[in-house]
Amino acid sequence: MPFLSTGDLLILTGIALGTWFVHGYIKERRENPNNLPLPPGPKGYPIIGSYFSFPKYKAWLEYDKWFKIYGDIIYFKVFGKGFLILGSLERVYDIFERRSSNYSDRPRLVMLNEMMGWDYTFGFQQYGPWWRRHRRHFHDHFHPNAVNKYHAIQIDSTRAFVRDLLESPEKFRYHIRYAFADSILKTLYGMDARENESYIGHTETTFAGLAEAGHPGSFLVDMFPVMKRIPDWFPGAEWKRKAKVWRDINSIVANSLWDRVKEQMKAGTAKPCIATAMLEDLLDDDSPESKEEETVRRSTCANGFIGGADTTVSSVTSFFMAMAIYPDVQKKAQAELDRVLGSRLPEINDRSSLPYISALLKESERWQPIAPLGIAHMSSNADDYDGYYIPKGTFVLGNAWSLLHDPKFYKEPSIFNPDRFLKDGELDPSVRDPSVASFGFGRRICPGRFFADASFFLTVAHVLKVYDIKPTLDENGKEKEIRPEMTDGLIIYPEAFECRIVPRSEEAKQLIQNSILDT
């Protein structure tokens, strides 16, 4: 082949891009015979689309600003990939509920699934039979009636948590993560967190990768999958080397504890748990069907740990931050706990008698939603919606943050105020429940929400019963200001902050120390 000059390469590149552009235009006209307009959105340019407008940091806040300009449905393209952002409950319900058959798929997540190995997680799997098999197994063990049998484990881990806070309150973030890892490890694998410190460390690393790569478009390979072929040694391919590290650790998270339970079952030392229940009726005939079924069950357990050990951690950490910032809210909650419980620690059945605590939990979900944009859905086919054309393959995101900070429904939404959910001392059913957005949408709603909700209640009720949470003091004895700033990512957490966690009284201290006797 003769040598091509720079000019020749530019001409060939222009022809290729022009052909790609024309092909896309013809395809869109064919799928949109009524020539409907696309939803409104920021200005785009040929080839790159709205790349320069595409939010790179805390996108949910930028999209919230866009809703005030373009309305509650926004569309834009970046390098040929279409994005549809929904900013009201009406839009979310129309798309994810009424048209769920077309909007329950996931986009091709090249960096996350294909390069980092998150494809074992059914939250990221494409909609279809493989996803259904995982979801069905998970539902069997985490539906509302099933989670009741795990309450004893959750109480045990929660009371260990309040004891750990007494010994080293400054390590409260570590203790929060450890407590939720402990309860879900015992539930899924019959194992104690203290015996699996390295495993918990691996999951923290995988979560860091998830935060970085969780949103489509975070890495250019999501837009240009051909970049997968770039060699690891190539200059600028640091992203590919990072993906390999994350993939290796993901493999450990997905497989290691399941394999250990199998060994324990052979030795007769395994404790009853979800993994043993899944293994007991699994045929061990080395057939392709049995291997495939084991893969599904193995991945389902790993899914449970990933969800249970991380998402509620964000909610509880935000709760600690809110209590330090809003002492009046804390006092109201403590007064209710004292009135209802007297001198004992809470149990799961106390919840119906604690409306202010229930309102506080709702406000915690609303105030700082753990996944403000959730995981992207994808349109399986082109769609005509409300006079707009939605192309096939569009990435669709519901902005949970906007839904839960809409001043039409939540007065002064930036303020942490559980009273907004109460009327005459009881929960007010007329107030929008944060669950409409806090656990995802439609058929892809989080199936572990019932387990997470019980853990959240037990943690909040125990902590407020026995502790005061206060800001730290400066050198002059004045309380330091805490600003409610959150990290960026698919799942967000409060930025680093310090607080004082002290027993409310000597009686409370005795309750903490004696809590092991009550489990």
Residues 106-119 as b or e (16 or more Cβ within 10 Å = b): bbebbbbbbbbbbb
Q: What is the pLDDT of residues 298-339, one digit of tens each?
A: 999 998 888 777 778 899 999 999 999 999 999 999 999 999
Q: Residue 504 CB: number of other CB atoms within 10 A?
A: 16
This model's pTM is above 0.85: yes
- CATH fold of 129-371+413-518: Cytochrome p450 (1.10.630)
Q: Is the pLDDT of residue 211 over 90?
A: no
Indicate the pLDDT class of residue 349, thresholds 50, 70 and 90.
Answer: very high
Beta bridge partners of 396: 84, 377
422 band by pLDDT with thresholds 50, 70 and 90: very high
d(CA 424, CA 336): 14
CB 311 within 8 A of CB 449: no
- Predicted local confidence at residue 20, as pLDDT: 53
| pLDDT > 60? residue 274 | yes
Q: What is the pLDDT of residue 4?
A: 42
- The arithmetic mean of pLDDT across residues 408-427, rounded, is 96
The DSSP bridge partners found for residue 502 are: 468
Q: Give the mean pLDDT of 97-124.
A: 91
Output the CA torsion 157→162→168→169 (10° steps). 120
Residue 446 labelled as part of a binding site:
yes
The DSSP bridge partners found for residue 395 are 83, 378
Of 12-16, 39-43, 436-440, minimum mean pLDDT range: 12-16
pLDDT-derived band at 450, boundaries 50, 70, 90:
very high
Q: Residue 495 has what pLDDT?
A: 94
Provide, rounded to the nearest whole percent, the portion of the chain with pLDDT above 90: 66
pLDDT at 231: 84
For residue 162, is pLDDT > 90?
Answer: yes
> With bands split at pLDDT 50, 70 and 90, how would you rate the model's confidence at 24?
low
Residue with tokens 């990939």: 81
Query: Would you place residue 341 in the very low, low, confident or very high pLDDT band (cuts 50, 70, 90)?
Result: very high
Cross-strand partners of 500 = 470
Cα–Cα dist 139/136, whole Å: 5
Report how far apart, in Å, the C-alpha atoms of 185 and of each of 118, 189, 424 are.
19, 5, 41
Residues 241-247: contacts with CB under 8 Å, at least 24 apart: 242/209, 243/111, 243/115, 243/116, 244/115, 246/116, 246/117, 246/205, 246/206, 246/209, 247/115, 247/116, 247/117
- Average pLDDT score over residue span 407-435: 96
Helix axes 197-213, 172-189, angle to 10 degrees: 100
Beta-carbon contacts of residue 261 (< 8 Å; ≥ 6 apart): 189, 190, 270, 273, 275, 276, 279
Quote the pLDDT of residue 21.
Answer: 54
Environment class of residue 319 by beta-carbon count within 10 Å: exposed (0-12), middle (13-18) or buried (19+)? buried
Whether 288 shows a pLDDT value over 70: the answer reads yes
Could you tell me if 512 and 466 are in contact, meaning their C-beta atoms sit under 8 angstroms apart?
yes
Q: If pLDDT is split at 50, 70 and 90, which confidence band does 22 have?
A: low
Higher pLDDT, 236 or 166: 166
Question: For residue 10, is pLDDT > 60?
Answer: no
pLDDT beyond 50 at 129: yes
pLDDT, tens digit (0-9, with 9 covering 90-100), for 174-187? 999 999 999 999 99
What are residue 377's phi and psi, to 5 degrees?
-90, 175
Per-residue pLDDT, 257: 93
pLDDT recorded at residue 517 = 54
Give the H or E element holding residue 73: strand 73-78
Give phi and psi for 98, each to the nearest 5.
Answer: -65, -30
- Measured CA to CA, the distance from residue 396 to residue 86 in angstroms comes to 8
Query: What confidence score (pLDDT) does residue 485 get?
Result: 94
Q: How far apart are CA 126 and CA 133, in angstroms?
A: 12
- Kindly tell me if the per-residue pLDDT of 9 is higher than 80: no
Tokens 């605590």 correspond to 357
- What was the pLDDT predicted at 1? 36
**Residue 391: what pLDDT?**
96
The conformation of residue 389, written as its DSSP 8-state character, comes to E
What pLDDT sits at residue 516? 75
pLDDT at 388: 97
* pLDDT the model gives residue 220: 83
What average pLDDT does the segment 66-80 reach?
A: 95
**For residues 125-148, average pLDDT:** 93
CA gap 332, 356 in Å, rounded: 8
Report CA torsion sign: 483, 488, 493, 495.
negative
Residue 76 pLDDT greater than 50, yes or no: yes
Average pLDDT score over the chain: 90
Asked if residues 324 and 469 have their Cβ atoms less than 8 Å apart, the reply is yes
| pLDDT at residue 32, as a whole number | 87
Above pLDDT 70, what percent of the chain?
A: 93
Distance CA 132, CA 126 (A): 10
What 3 state SS string does 286-314 have?
A: CCHHHHHHHHHHHHHHHHHHHHHCCHHHH
* Residue 2 predicted with pLDDT over 50: no
Instruction: Evaluate whether 209 touches 241 at the Cβ level (below 8 Å).
Output: no
Annotated domain spans of the chain? 129-371+413-518
Q: What is the pLDDT of residue 518?
A: 56
Whether 292 and 282 have beta carbons less than 8 Å apart is answered as: no
pLDDT reported for residue 3: 43
CB 449 within 8 A of CB 439: yes
Tokens for 131, please give them.
């996803």
pLDDT tens column, 453-500: 999 999 999 999 999 999 999 988 899 999 999 999 888 999 999 999
What is d(CA 237, CA 57) in angstroms, rounded to the nearest whole number? 22
pLDDT tens digit sequence for 29-56:
667 888 999 999 999 899 889 888 889 8
Enumerate the β-bridge partners of residue 86.
Answer: 73, 398
Interstrand relation of 395-398 and 377-378 (parallel, antiparallel or unpaired): antiparallel
pLDDT for res 387: 95
φ, ψ of residue 447 to 5 degrees: the values are -80, -10
Cβ–Cβ < 8 Å for 175, 197? no
